[in-house]
Chains A and B, each alone.
Chain A
Amino acid sequence: MILPGWTREPLVHFLVAGAALFGLFAWQGEPADTASRTITITREDRARLAIEWERTMQRPPTDAELDDQVEHFLREEILYREALRLGLDRDDAVVRKRMANKMDFLAASMVESAPADDAVLRQWLARHRARFARDSSYSFDQRYFAQRGAANCASAERMERAGDAISLPASFENAPRNEVEARLGSAFMANLDRLAPDGKWAGPVQSGFGWHCVRLRQREAGQTPPLAAIRSEVEADWRSETEAQRRKQAYSLLRSAYKVKIAR
């Protein structure tokens, strides 16, 4: 059976999950009713507080220490409920901003937690091939000359022994572009890109060091590897962009339900 396109829309998943959760919570009731004056500290709560303590102090708390932690937790919870009762949350700009931020980030965190399946990532990779292409690679020989005048690149037969001493490789084999650029600099890289890969000595071309005769033997455009080889890279990219997009989508949907009047 082929499902219609809309069933694959993440936004639809989002809404369906939302509806399901809405139902679940409506049926279950709020886990903690902040309007109630009954507070139950379960064994699980105590265990959680004990574990938190242990993680810092590297030993379990004594009974007295755990009681302290529980008191602390209680105090916070009681003050929080009383504050809500007094409506302190409503006239506080920070609470307003904080809650708005939370709403905003929740949409994104869903993406953060959602596992990315291969189909989605494969599609992402196909759509952004250039972004994931490996560096081009270069095979060439170079001879260095401190002075331009000394660089007579036409006399090819003498090249083997020509040039001034410098701590740069005389030959590069399938070196990725980023490595060539890191070692020889951007000026050299730009010049290298202008040469034909014909295996003939050419130049002199300039670099940050001086002058070079160059024999470019091969230049290979970077391939985009298959998904399996770069999955985590693709996933990080997909996640970070999808997050931003989700946040925008979720907001624009909420925004569209509002009628806004701005007096000017």
Chain B
Amino acid sequence: MGRARKIVSGIAIAAVLGGGAYWLTRPRIIDPAKIASAESDVALSEFPERVLFGDTHLHTDNSIDAFGFGARLGPEDALKFARGDEVTSTTGVKAQLSRPLDFLVIADHSDGLGVTRRLYDAPRFAIRDKTLRRWRDMMHESPQQSVRATSELIAAAGAGTLPAAMLDPARRDESTAEIWGNQLKVLDRYYQPGKFTPIAGFEYTLQPDGNNLHRVVMFRDGIERTSKIRPYPGLVSNVDGLFDYMDGYERATGGRVLAIPHNSNLSNGLMFELTDAAGGPMTAEYARRRGAREPVVEATQIKGDSEAHPFLSPNDEFADFGKKGWEIGNLTLSFPKKNDMLAGEYLREALKRGLSIEQQTGVNPYKFGMIGSTDSHTALATGDEDNFFGKHTGNEPDKIRAIAPQNLGTRVGRMGWNYLAGGYAAVWARANTRAEIFDAMMRREVYATTGPRMVVRFFGGFEFSSETFKGDWVRAGYKTGVPMGGELVASGAKAPRFLVSALKDPEGAHLDRVQIIKGWVDASGTAQEKIYDVAWSDTAKRQPVNGKIPAVGDTVNRARAAYTNAIGAAELRSVWTDPDYTPGQRAFYYVRVLEIPTPRWPLFDAVRFGVKLSPEALADAVAQERAYSSPIWVGPAARNTADRKTGQRRLAGR
């Protein structure tokens, strides 16, 4: 009797499961009106009071390469982890962020969204394309082979030789629509206005010949608008196409969208060219479009740091951070790097190029702010040295990842320890909501950190006095100046003054120094730069020698991967006036904050797993983590009015 009943209920269950496919309704959507009302309940401070930390660049198992590298955590796990819940990583390790993030942009590759998962799941006989079938077999063979297959796939995407079956628009659309739709619903479900903000986005993966021209595309809106479009594919387009797509979205839905270029260091000189996207002369129109669509650039992430390069800035003794391995070629290493490519790759140089182009066309295409992010492909947004969960699932924590070669494809040159632990985006918003975070990015009131949660304030103006810090200086900064990302219109001879404050991460290392980096174009039309040390620690022992501040020292115990805060300062501040100001000249100023030396993740790995690092890896296993603020631009009123939609703060001087 019992057995018969079990069989009957078994059949019933099988029936419902079988029939379920027909019966399924769409996953529930949270009513947009409810979200809007929760958002409007969040109080806006008068000006940004507390900086928000987040990651604008996280991949989940919906990304073609992340899945291929083995990731099996999706958007929901990613959101749980970012807001502070414990999750189990793909490799079975329990993982929890000791400090939650304030926001997260899930940015899966738009090309082949979900494709590897479907390839993996597809019956072998159904795959007619030989290459696809081989990749599928490799993915099933072993995790190592799966990583290899994915590397081949990325190389093929870079070379434009992906099998046609993979680019089939009808199939692509079907799976993209489903994945995108479900993701948008999950984002809304985890949205807690005022506390945790999931943001819709995707990665536009343009990479002609393997040169990285990738952008993260990020939306301001919820599902009622974002569900009207699909992520825009990058493999068969150029950046003008992306801008058209963005224009189309805003026109059709009334929403807002921005793009964030990243890994310019792997573009072989193409990210910040002096020409337009097609190689023609830079026009005012192209410059305007670029500037309006790309208000923020990712300066630092796992695949290296793009702020500055020693070749371009020979007098900058801190420009070598995050260069090893990344400077040998483009993303897929299909072409080696030549020195004349570097100027189109590094942000400081791009900011200078922007000023030169503005002189010629009247518009600055490269007037961008800076953020950091992870670009993690594990669905885990880890940014710290002691919690690095790997670039992808193939190098989640294990004994060999720091010393193993980490090349895409089969070429040599990059090692595990070349990866940085990743950075975070710091956003000065008035509240933790989608709109406030997006708007702060549009006005560039943001900064990059290489992981530590330093609090950096930067204001420019003409009225600050040396006493300003004694009072309510943040209010003074907003009332009589502009914050980072803003513009000062200078009409008189008075030099601009800057308020800068850097507060250490409460859980992290002390600060070594605060620098202001100035770029300008001189009378002969040549772009120049100069680095000023404006505040530093241990001043009694550290006085300038030949204009340089002596190094702060090094407390790192290599055998234990530990440091002490016996050197450095908890906070560094300065009211600084440019001593070399030339009235009428256009210039930008941004802040770089350096921590005292601390262990990088390979050293933590070496101690944790008892691995011996190579001498080269060991030499790179201690570094000075840092923050880069968005610049403040100073100069005469612009000839062409920039796009007013950006809402940047602008202050006219006398």
Contact = CB atoms under 8 A, between A and B. Distances in A.
Interface centre among B98, B501, B506 (most CB of A within 10 A): B506
A250 B20 CA distance: 13
A56 interface: yes
A81 to B, nearest CB: 12
Interface string B506-542: 1110000000000000000000000000000000000
Contacts of A146: 570
Interface stretch (A34-42, A103-111, A195-203): A103-111
Given A88-B125, A186-B507, A209-B506, A109 B20 contact: yes
A203 B230 CA distance: 57
Contacts of A14: 13, 16
A68 B129 CA distance: 19
Interface centre among B16, B21, B192, B453 (most CB of A within 10 A): B16
B352 interface: no
Contacts of A168: 503
A15 B12 contact: yes
A106 B20 contact: yes
A45 to B, nearest CB: 13
Contacts of B570: 146, 166, 208-210
A92 B123 contact: yes
Contact of B99 (A22, A182, A207): A182
A250 B9 contact: no
Contact of B501 (A167, A187, A207): A167
B34 interface: yes
Nearest to B125: A88
B19 A53 contact: no
Nearest to B99: A182
A257 B76 contact: no
B544 interface: no
Contact of B21 (A106, A182, A254, A257): A106
B216 to A, nearest CB: 22
Nearest to A111: B27
Interface stretch (B170-178, B304-312, B614-622): B170-178
A98 interface: yes
A209 B170 contact: no
Question: Interface of chain A, helix or strand or loop or mixed?
Answer: helix
Interface string A252-264: 0110110000000
A52 interface: yes
Interface string B568-609: 001101000000000000000000000000000000000000
B17 interface: yes
Nearest to B3: A257
A178 B12 contact: no
Interface stretch (A120-128, A150-158, A230-238): A230-238
A196 B22 CA distance: 61
Interface centre among A31, A57, A208, A235 (most CB of B within 10 A): A208
Interface of B: 3, 6-7, 9-28, 30, 34, 50, 76, 98-100, 121-126, 140, 169-170, 172-174, 177, 188-192, 195, 230, 453, 455, 457, 469, 501, 503-508, 570-571, 573
Interface of A: 14-15, 17-19, 21-22, 24-25, 31, 49, 52-53, 55-57, 69, 72, 79-80, 83, 88-89, 92, 94-95, 98, 101-103, 106-107, 109-110, 112-113, 115-116, 146, 165-168, 178-179, 181-188, 207-210, 231-233, 235-236, 240, 250, 253-254, 256-257
In the complex, the 8 A-B pairs of residues with the closest C-beta atoms, listed nearest first: A18-B16, A185-B506, A21-B19, A22-B15, A208-B506, A257-B10, A257-B6, A209-B570
23 contacts: A15-B16, A18-B17, A52-B174, A56-B230, A88-B125, A92-B123, A98-B121, A102-B21, A106-B20, A109-B20, A110-B20, A113-B24, A166-B571, A179-B50, A182-B99, A182-B453, A184-B506, A209-B504, A235-B189, A253-B9, A253-B10, A256-B6, A257-B9
